[in-house]
Structure 1
Amino acid sequence: MIKHKFQCMKNKYITFVILCLVISSCNYFKHNRIYDKKQIENKEILATEILLQDFLITKRVLQILEKASYCLDEGEQVSKETFDEIIEVINEFSDKCHREKEEKILFPFLKDIKENGKIDLLCQLLMEHVTARELIRNLSELTNKFHQGKKARKRISRVAHTYIKHMRKHIQTEEKILFPWINKVLTPDDHVLLIKKFEEMNQEEYKSGLYENYVSKIEDLEKQLQIYLE
């Protein structure tokens, strides 16, 4: 009887978790899809809010990679295909959804600001983007050697942990230093212009459902690794 009640409670909890994941996905696209023109024109949204929403997804991907790497470290079951999917999401989502916004739109815009005292910071962040891509390339190459034994898998885990640490520091720098400065120096009209450029850049991806597809992959990986069931 007790065992039956426990199983019922467990099933309800799992259902609740899945529902939360669905809501999380919906909320993400509610904030990240092409914004209503009135919202933009009324200057209700800051450009940094869009970038912060990108980070919410990036942080989930980092957590997934961390859990997969932990499984490697502890000898728990995790497949090469799992790492392949994580790398695909990082390459296609992090680069196209976030880094390109910064490198092609935000950073060039900020460099033109008069009396910009953050040029060194922008250069640092650009170099961190380069480092992140190099780490992911290394991780991808090592993942192809996944079945070559424990040493190969240890190298995968080591590079993955390095990438995670690097990205968390990078995100913290932008959240704590770059974004507050942007909000301080940019005018409402500047934010409107940036948001419109962000939307123009990603319009095709939104319309084609590319981002929904990758968020769905993220949710599948979370379920697979039982990140929310611990």
Structure 2
Amino acid sequence: MESIRIMVEEHTNIRRMLKVIRKISYRVMTNSEYDIDDFPGIIDFVRTYADKHHHGKEEDILFQTMNKEIEKLAKSGAITGMYIEHDMGRLYMANLEKSLEEFKNGNDEARLDIIANAISYTDLLDRHIEKENTAMYKFAENMLNNSSKAFIEDECKKVENSATEAGIQEKYITLIEELESKYK
């Protein structure tokens, strides 16, 4: 399925950002050189590219279809688990944002919360991506009927076309590249 291939490619991009987040978190921890103003771009990437764009396709199209059609997965809680992990990631980003504000307002101890939320997010998402790539996407490709697969392909294509028109992919791939070169 082309939509699954694109989602796996998006996972690769998200994992690239996770590595950047780890590197900047290490610099925050060691108080070495970093730019606190890089965090809003990272949070924007997570909220727009990873969550709204990527998780939106998963939640609103793929998982919803799987939940309706694959009774065994729906009853096992596997799909619900994916939704819960998406929500946990959103919580880490909200907490990261609050911690950054506290730090900017002079609370040096907030660095602990910056690191804790950033690293918790990277660990959660890395494990989450592995489950989707190796299990959930395989279930979709192997267990969904052709009609459901065609529906997913059509709906995901609409999302991709809209994102391309808005320059989403280009904007966030460029951001990853800029941050990767800054935090080698």
Task: Determine which structure has the larger helix proportion and give its number.
Answer: 2
Partner in structure 2 of residue 139 of structure 1? 96
1:149, distance to aligned residue in structure 2 (A):
4.6
1:207, distance to aligned residue in structure 2 (A):
1.2
Distance, in Å, in 2 between the alignment partners of 1:173 and 1:208 is: 29
Gaps of 5+ in 1: 1-44
Distance, in Å, in 1 between the alignment partners of 2:175 and 2:113 is: 25
Match status 1:89 vs 2:54: no
1:118, distance to aligned residue in structure 2 (A):
0.9
Residue type at the aligned position of 1:68: I
Larger radius of gyration: 1
Distance, in Å, in 2 between the alignment partners of 1:174 and 1:216 is: 25
1:206, distance to aligned residue in structure 2 (A):
0.6
Gaps of 5+ in 2: none
Match status 1:110 vs 2:66: yes
**Structure 2 length-normalised TM:** 0.91
1:125-171 Cα deviation digits (max 9, x unpaired): 11111111011011011111223253111220111111111111111
Q: Give the counterpart of 2:83 among 103, 117, 126.
A: 126
Partner in structure 2 of residue 176 of structure 1? 134
Partner in structure 1 of residue 166 of structure 2? 208
RMSD: 1.6
Q: 2:3·2:157 contact (CA, 8 Å) conserved in 1?
A: no
Deviates more, 1:146-155 or 1:83-92: 146-155
Q: 1:67·1:225 contact (CA, 8 Å) conserved in 2?
A: yes
Distance, in Å, in 2 between the alignment partners of 1:151 and 1:109 is: 45
1:57, distance to aligned residue in structure 2 (A):
0.7
Distance, in Å, in 2 between the alignment partners of 1:133 and 1:121 is: 19
Partner in structure 2 of residue 167 of structure 1? 125
Distance, in Å, in 2 between the alignment partners of 1:181 and 1:103 is: 15
Q: 1:47·1:191 contact (CA, 8 Å) conserved in 2?
A: no
Partner in structure 2 of residue 198 of structure 1? 156
Q: 1:47·1:192 contact (CA, 8 Å) conserved in 2?
A: no
Partner in structure 1 of residue 3 of structure 2? 47
Q: 1:103·1:126 contact (CA, 8 Å) conserved in 2?
A: yes
Distance, in Å, in 2 between the alignment partners of 1:188 and 1:78 is: 49
Q: 1:106·1:194 contact (CA, 8 Å) conserved in 2?
A: yes
Q: 1:54·1:98 contact (CA, 8 Å) conserved in 2?
A: yes
1:188, distance to aligned residue in structure 2 (A):
4.6
Match status 1:151 vs 2:109: yes
Distance, in Å, in 2 between the alignment partners of 1:104 and 1:129 is: 13
Distance, in Å, in 2 between the alignment partners of 1:51 and 1:88 is: 19
Partner in structure 2 of residue 37 of structure 1? none
Residue type at the aligned position of 2:32: E
Distance, in Å, in 1 between the alignment partners of 2:52 and 2:160 is: 8
Residue type at the aligned position of 1:77: E
Q: Give the counterpart of 1:73 among 12, 16, 29.
A: 29
Distance, in Å, in 2 between the alignment partners of 1:208 and 1:92 is: 12
Identity of aligned residues (%): 22
**Structure 1 length-normalised TM:** 0.74
Deviates more, 1:199-208 or 1:61-70: 199-208
